[in-house]
Amino acid sequence: MGHERIVFIDYLKVLGLLCIILAHVCKNPLIFQLRNFDAPLMVIISGFLAVDSYKRSVQSNNSLLNYYWKRIKRLLFPTWIFLAIYFILSYIFITNSGGAYPYNYKTVLSSFLLLNGIGYVWIIRIYLICAFLTPIIYYFNDKIKSGKMKLAILLVIYVLYELFVFLGYSDLNAIFKYFVAYAIPYGLIYILGMLSKNTSYKKDYGISLLFLITFIASAFAVASIFNGFQPTQIMKYPPTIYYVSYSLFASFLLLSIFKQANLKRFIVIEFLSNSSLWIYLWHIMFVKLATVFLGDVHWTVNYLAILAAAIGITFIQNKILDLLEHRGINIGVLNLFRG
C-alpha cells in the first residue's frame, strides 16, 4: 500500500538540492554563506522520512538486514554506477583530446569508498551512516523513556565530540576522520529530523531561535579568534558548533515556514524530489564539463546550465525507463537509474 505524500517535504528537498548544486559554482561570498545549511537540511529531511520508512520496512519484512539492503541499493549502487560512467567517459574524453588522465587508482578507489576522491560524493556517505544508525536510534529511544535523560545523553555525546575535534583527534585515524567525526554531528541532526516529524511549526520556530542564539554566540567567539567574521564553511569538515548552529537555525526556520505554508502538489517539484539523487550525481559531471566549455562566464550562467543539463539527462533516463515498462519489459536492475 502506498504512503501519503508530504508536500512540504518535496519543496524542502528541492530547495536543499538547488542549494547544494549552487554551492559548487557560486562565486558570491554572501550567497555562498546564506545557502550553507543545505547538507544538514537534507539530513533532517532524511530523518523526517526515516520515521515512516523504517517502520514500514521492518513491519513488512521483520528484517533489519533487508532494511540495510534497501538503503544500500537506493544510495550506494546508483553512486557507484555514476562513478563508473564518470571515470570511463573522463578517460575517453581526456585521452582522445591529448591530455593526461588526472585520476590515479587512489582517487578512483577513494571515490568509490565515498571518501575524498573527486569530491562531491561525501554526502552519500553521510546518508548511509545515518541509515545504519536508524535501528540503533530506535533501540535506545525504546529503552530510555525519560526525555530529559535522552537530551542529557545527546548533549554529553556532542560535547565530547567537540572536545575531540578541538584537541585535534578528528585526524587521529581514518575511521574517526571519515566516519565517527561525521556520524556524531550528522547522527544528532538526523535525530532532530526524526523528532521534527511530530513537532508543530511553532516548536520548530522556537528550535530555530535557540540555534540562532547559539550561532550568534559562536560567531562572536570565532570572530574574536580570527579578528573578524568568518564563513561557517571553515568549520564544516568536520562539522562543529559554528557550522552546525547556523545550519540548524536556517533549517528549522524553513521547516517552520514550510509546515504552515499552503503548498500544493506540483508535478515538477515531485519529479525533482523523486529524482534528486540522480540529478545530484549528474550535476557532478556537468560541473567538471563547465570548467572546460563555459570558461569564464558568470557563475549564474554556469549554475543554470549545469542545473538544466543535470535535470534534462535525469528526465530522459526516466522517460526511457517508463517507455521500457510501458512495453512490458521488466527493467529489473535498471530501476537503479531512478531516484
pTM: predicted TM-score of the whole model, two decimal places? 0.94
Over residues 180-205, the mean pLDDT reads 95
Calculate the alpha carbon distances from 192 to 16, 199, 207, 278, 321 in Å. Answer: 17, 10, 10, 26, 36
Over residues 321-333, the mean pLDDT reads 87
Other beta carbons within 10 angstroms of residue 52's beta carbon come to 13
Q: State pLDDT tens for residues 36-56.
A: 999 999 999 999 999 888 877
Would residue 196 count as lying in a domain? yes
Would residue 309 count as lying in a domain? yes
Would residue 1 count as lying in a domain? no
**Which residue is listed with cell 546508483?**
78
Domain ranges, residue 223: 7-337
Would residue 273 count as lying in a domain? yes
Q: For the chain, what is the domain count?
A: 1
Other beta carbons within 10 angstroms of residue 318's beta carbon come to 17
Residue 4 has a pLDDT of: 78
Would residue 282 count as lying in a domain? yes
Q: State pLDDT tens for residues 208-222.
A: 999 999 999 999 999
Residue 1 has a pLDDT of: 42
Angle, helix 181-195 to helix 241-260, in steps of 10 degrees: 20
Q: Which is higher by pLDDT, 325 or 21?
A: 21
Would residue 229 count as lying in a domain? yes
b (16+ CB within 10 A) / e for 263-285: beeeeebbbbbbbbbbbbbbbbb
Q: State pLDDT tens for residues 85-119.
A: 999 999 999 888 888 899 999 999 999 999 989 99
Would residue 312 count as lying in a domain? yes
Would residue 128 count as lying in a domain? yes
